[in-house]
Structure 1
């Protein structure tokens, strides 16, 4: 169901961050290089280095004509696509930023850090509104529910902290993983929350009472990303074990393993991030091997 289509080269170092543009057919990557790179899916070509960065980029997030760039330094930058320039650079945390998400109805940006906190910023002027001290260690990832009513934070200590978005009050703490949480995603219909960890397990959480309803030994090593298809009942996972796996989002059946071992082509090192194209026809992957790979979804 996943067929290799193209490999982009050009990055000189591991690639940690990936997001698609609001403009169809355009996506961005970044990592240990000194810039954020723009690529064209329609032309299968490098477009340009969109902006320089001062330290390694661990996360990219796109929202309403702006690209948010989270750095190892603890700062984030805001690139305005309309102005075609960097409009803000905020020294947000004393340690690296690993996660970013937006709450649209509140016009707020969230950043999570190795310092154990999550900071909430106004999207109007990027003033800090709140700071949540969530953990004594890294808050690695953030997921926002489809209705934006709740937010899940994945922590290095293996716990998942679920908060109400309206007032940032704590709703639930989930503790079933034996190692740090490295990926989180809500089902697009709000059916469940899924978590991936360094323990190589996927856990499925019922959003009514937050019981764990399923546990899947999904990979050999840490699961670094989980992405749901925009229209079809699939999700894909990326792992430190160098593989990408495609799953049924309803019964969790494994459909396809995309790896060198299984297909003769794939990433030679850890797969760090995944992203579906706008129409869902292609899956984009990035990794420690400095490559950006494009996969066709063949039904």
Structure 2
């Protein structure tokens, strides 16, 4: 299913963020190093430090030829690949930014984080369009429904809040987790919403009614990320328990555990972020051990 292919060293501090480039075989990582690093899957090697940053990076988001970098300072930067430079840096929040997403149909960018607000930005000129308070503490996760009808926010107060994307009105609050919600993902067809939490559980909410279909005791500690494979019926989860798990996206059967304990190779600390490569051939993981690991689909 998945096997270890390469460990890419180089970061000197914990890594929190990963993003694919538009071109296949290129991805970026960032964390406490004060720089965004470019890597090649073709050569399995470090390429260069793409750009310096002024504070730790907690999220990266690539969209339409631009890389958005969310910082601990509450600012985000926009790197334009065509111009090969940072074209703007915006002081968006008073506290760290934990997540950045784009609403393609509305040409809008969303930022959120520790201050509990969500800011909506125009992708044309990066002016602020709207801002609303989702929670009175950290909002860590954002998931946008595949049809862009709604958006889910994972909050520190244990709740998942669902908003209509048309007007950013609150649609529903889901109570199920006992601790902060740290990861969210919609099934690619939009038939359910997956949530992960500091309570180490995965919860599966059926759509459109938000009924709790299933509870999976997924990990030993916090579920930090959930990533659906781009074409195959699988999803992966990563955790504070130093493991990555591969699951069936239809029946939630566990296929594989990737960890030092189980496989003899793996991360030695919390795994903060996972992404699939654009072509789905590789899973990339990173975390507090400062390593970037590449896993290959067999």
Q: Normalised by the shorter chain, which TM-score bucket? A: over 0.9
2:282 & 2:121 partners in 1: Cα distance? 33
Cross-structure match for 2:159: 159
Cross-structure match for 2:220: 220
Aligned residues of 2:202 and 2:216 also touching (Cα < 8 A): yes
1:241 & 1:16 partners in 2: Cα distance? 15
Root-mean-square deviation (CA, aligned residues, Å) is 0.5
TM-score, normalising length from structure 1? 0.99
Correspondence 1:251-266 to 2 at 5 A = 251-266=251-266
Aligned residues of 2:191 and 2:208 also touching (Cα < 8 A): no
Question: 1:191, CA displacement in angstroms?
Answer: 1.2
Cross-structure match for 2:133: 133
1:18 & 1:226 partners in 2: Cα distance? 13
Question: 1:172, CA displacement in angstroms?
Answer: 0.6
Cross-structure match for 2:68: 68
Q: Decide which moves more: 61-70 or 143-152.
A: 143-152
Question: 1:34, CA displacement in angstroms?
Answer: 1.2
Structure 2 residue 286 is the aligned partner of structure 1 residue 250: no
Structure 2 residue 16 is the aligned partner of structure 1 residue 16: yes
Structure 2 residue 169 is the aligned partner of structure 1 residue 169: yes
2:153 & 2:208 partners in 1: Cα distance? 18
Cross-structure match for 1:122: 122
Counterpart secondary structure, 2:196: strand
1:249 & 1:159 partners in 2: Cα distance? 23
Counterpart secondary structure, 1:140: strand
Cross-structure match for 1:35: 35
Question: 1:265, CA displacement in angstroms?
Answer: 0.4
Gapped regions of structure 1 (runs ≥ 5): none
Counterpart secondary structure, 1:42: coil
Question: 1:148, CA displacement in angstroms?
Answer: 1.2
Counterpart secondary structure, 1:142: strand
2:87 & 2:289 partners in 1: Cα distance? 32
Cross-structure match for 2:79: 79
TM-score, normalising length from structure 2? 0.99
Q: How many residues align?
A: 298
2:242 & 2:264 partners in 1: Cα distance? 12
